[in-house]
Chain A
Amino acid sequence: MPTPTGTPRAPADVTTGSTRTGLRRSPRMQLVVVAVAVALLIGAALIFFLVRSDGGSSPSKKSVSGEVKLTLGGINNVNAGTPATLGGDAANQIMASVGQYVDKGLIAPVKTGKPPADVSDLFDGATQAAIQGPDKEVLFESGAPKRTGDFKPSADPVIITALSDGNGQFVLATATFNYRADVGVAGGTMSTARSISLTFAPDNGPWKITGYDVSVTRQGAQVEGSTATTTAKR
């Protein structure tokens, strides 16, 4: 009967009945295990990074305004069912609308002293009456009082919160940001601060503004009572 040499054999595993000897594999087998593991890792990474983006291009981090630095700060995806991520195309389109709203609705009137250009195409049908009526003064600058000095607009990064339905289709998104502007007017500087939340929904294809929550606070020269805040919600 041969005498055992080398490393003592471990006792059999009472649970499985296997022994450590059973775990020993040839070097070729070990290489196969490692190769399979690496292949799986690569596969997982490919699936995650390639399939996950459902809108083609990544959302742009460039400013969407020609007048002020207005960038995407982040996207919060809220899923009512199947996990989904707002596609880059949708995010870019929403950001482009935000940029047009800021440029045409807030900045151009101050620079030109004229009422804002027509931006009604950014809004859906349900909001048309309100943006031309009671909410107009809060949503847009009017061009008054007349600018006599410097104009310094600034904006925080835009945070998008997007909601997908049970099938993973995005049905609503809000773009939230703060916008400020100091403008020289007769008697000094008027400061305007807007807290802006624009809610978008697909409107037969393109995303349009279907609701908003905007408050504007003005203070300084030309402001009655030194501070005035008004809000428009829809």
Chain B
Amino acid sequence: MTARPRTVLLTLIGPPLCGVLVACLVIAAWVATGLPIAKGETWFTIQKVPPAAGASFTSGQPDQVQFFLVVGNDSRDPNGVGLGDAIHVIGVNPGAKAATIIDIPRDTSVGGAGKINSILANGGLSQFTQAISRFVGVPIKFSMTTNFAGFTDMVDELGGIDINVQEPMHDVDSGADFDPGPQKLNGPGALAFSRDRHSFAAGDISRTANQGYLIITALQNFQQRATGPAGVLTALGNLGRHVQMENVSFQEMYRLGRLVLTIDPANIKSVVIPTGGGSGTNLTPGAGIDSLFADFRDDGVLQSH
């Protein structure tokens, strides 16, 4: 039998056309009906903390001083929570458009219970937040933690961090390999920057200070990129696919984003707490720590330190 041209054409394009149309049907149904999509890997967990007993914490109003806890943990498991190795309590004073970051070295010993960083791995974020809240004496409203994979993915997705490296950082263990000067850190680079302690004489103290510096720099970057409320919503949409929100609403996340955008990075202090020992394990809180915390506690920012 001799095939006519029309028949040949239909024979050849018919089946693939059907396949394409079936694909169209599936995609249309997916887009239109909102079938569940795979939620991305979790970059970080954010938790709203109920006020601790006795705290004067009544916040919720954006004008009030607010305290946050940001913790980097050392879990290599994308879904895991490990030791709290980067510990930062952030006080924000909206009225003054200023903030302070209290940086706590991971090896700090609190209340004779050993290193503070183990509380996160053993007790979870809630218990860790309570411990830090008691230690510093401030009512922490939100706490968030991220691990290695979450941190690197987040930094990469947000386009990296433009930072001015202050000192040479060359450390095989952390992977840091930076000369001083402006650098654009990708996810692994930012992680290496945050983890390097061997490049400094003061070890973990310098590393902790660098982490605070990275937070301020990331804020600067965020302010430059997320312009206005629509920019914050767009960022939230991106983050929202990768954040585990515990007792936190998107409205609160929005207010949090807007709050940090009001802070001038030039008005942010980052201070590592004084410790009794040098670089090493089980650092005891050092002289002057009560004064430092009292200065921080009253309005979220340091005036005399």
0/1 interface trace, chain B 1-34, chain A, CB 8 Å (1 if under)? 1110001001110110110011011011111111
Given contacts A76-B230, A176-B230, A197-B229, contact A47 B32 (CB under 8 A): yes
Cα distance A174–B234 in the bound complex, in angstroms: 11
Find out whether the CB atom of B254 lies under 8 angstroms from the CB atom of A45. Answer: no
Look across to chain B and name the residue whose beta carbon is closest to the beta carbon of A124: B251
Look across to chain B and name the residue whose beta carbon is closest to the beta carbon of A202: B251
Chain A residue numbers with a CB within 8 Å of B3 are 7, 24
B241 located at the interface, meaning its Cβ lies under 8 Å from any Cβ of chain A in the complex? yes
Given contacts A47-B33, A80-B240, contact A213 B228 (CB under 8 A): yes
Interface set, chain B 95-140, CB cutoff 8 A to A: none
Determine how close the nearest CB of chain A comes to the CB of B10; give it in whole angstroms.
5
A153 located at the interface, meaning its Cβ lies under 8 Å from any Cβ of chain B in the complex? no
0/1 interface trace, chain A 38-56, chain B, CB 8 Å (1 if under)? 0011011101101110000
Find out whether the CB atom of B229 lies under 8 angstroms from the CB atom of A45. Answer: no
0/1 interface trace, chain B 229-256, chain A, CB 8 Å (1 if under)? 1100110110111000000011100110
On chain B, which size bracket covers the interface?
35 or more
21 pairs from A and B in contact (CB 8 Å cutoff): A30-B14, A33-B18, A34-B14, A37-B18, A40-B25, A44-B27, A51-B32, A82-B36, A83-B30, A83-B34, A161-B230, A171-B249, A171-B250, A171-B251, A172-B251, A174-B230, A174-B233, A176-B230, A197-B230, A199-B229, A199-B254
Chain A residue numbers with a CB within 8 Å of B33 are 47, 51
B201 located at the interface, meaning its Cβ lies under 8 Å from any Cβ of chain A in the complex? no
B62 located at the interface, meaning its Cβ lies under 8 Å from any Cβ of chain A in the complex? yes
Among A27, A34, A81, A210, contact of B251 (Cβ-Cβ < 8 Å):
A210
Cα distance A174–B251 in the bound complex, in angstroms: 12
B262 located at the interface, meaning its Cβ lies under 8 Å from any Cβ of chain A in the complex? yes
Dominant SS at the A interface?
mixed
Find out whether the CB atom of B34 lies under 8 angstroms from the CB atom of A211. Answer: no
B37 located at the interface, meaning its Cβ lies under 8 Å from any Cβ of chain A in the complex? yes
A67 located at the interface, meaning its Cβ lies under 8 Å from any Cβ of chain B in the complex? no
Chain B residue numbers with a CB within 8 Å of A201 are 251
Determine how close the nearest CB of chain A comes to the CB of B97; give it in whole angstroms.
10
A62 located at the interface, meaning its Cβ lies under 8 Å from any Cβ of chain B in the complex? no
Most interface-central of B36, B233, B258 (chain A CB within 10 A): B233
B61 located at the interface, meaning its Cβ lies under 8 Å from any Cβ of chain A in the complex? yes
Cα distance A140–B258 in the bound complex, in angstroms: 21
Taking Cβ atoms with an 8 Å cutoff, the residues of A that contact B are 6-7, 23-25, 27, 30, 33-34, 36-37, 40-41, 43-45, 47-48, 50-52, 76, 78-84, 126, 130, 159, 161-166, 168, 171-174, 176, 197, 199, 201, 210-213, 233-234
Chain A residue numbers with a CB within 8 Å of B249 are 171
Given contacts A52-B31, A81-B37, A166-B39, contact A213 B229 (CB under 8 A): yes
Chain A residue numbers with a CB within 8 Å of B22 are 40
Task: Count contacts between A and B, CB distance < 8 Å.
Answer: 141
Closest 4 CB pairs between A and B? A80-B240, A78-B237, A33-B14, A40-B21
Taking Cβ atoms with an 8 Å cutoff, the residues of B that contact A are 1-3, 7, 10-12, 14-15, 17-18, 21-22, 24-25, 27-37, 39, 61-63, 228-230, 233-234, 236-237, 239-241, 249-251, 254-255, 258, 262
Look across to chain B and name the residue whose beta carbon is closest to the beta carbon of A197: B229
Look across to chain B and name the residue whose beta carbon is closest to the beta carbon of A160: B230
Among B7, B25, B237, contact of A44 (Cβ-Cβ < 8 Å):
B25
Chain B residue numbers with a CB within 8 Å of A47 are 25, 28-29, 32-33
Chain B residue numbers with a CB within 8 Å of A23 are 11-12
Cα distance A199–B24 in the bound complex, in angstroms: 36
Cα distance A47–B30 in the bound complex, in angstroms: 9
Find out whether the CB atom of A41 lies under 8 angstroms from the CB atom of B254. Answer: no
Find out whether the CB atom of A78 lies under 8 angstroms from the CB atom of B32. Answer: no
Cα distance A83–B25 in the bound complex, in angstroms: 16
Find out whether the CB atom of A33 lies under 8 angstroms from the CB atom of B15. Answer: yes
Among B31, B62, B237, contact of A163 (Cβ-Cβ < 8 Å):
B237
Cα distance A197–B232 in the bound complex, in angstroms: 12
Look across to chain A and name the residue whose beta carbon is closest to the beta carbon of B15: A33
Given contacts A33-B14, A82-B36, contact A176 B228 (CB under 8 A): yes
Find out whether the CB atom of A163 lies under 8 angstroms from the CB atom of B233. Answer: yes
Determine how close the nearest CB of chain A comes to the CB of B247; give it in whole angstroms.
14
Given contacts A37-B14, A37-B17, A37-B21, contact A48 B31 (CB under 8 A): yes
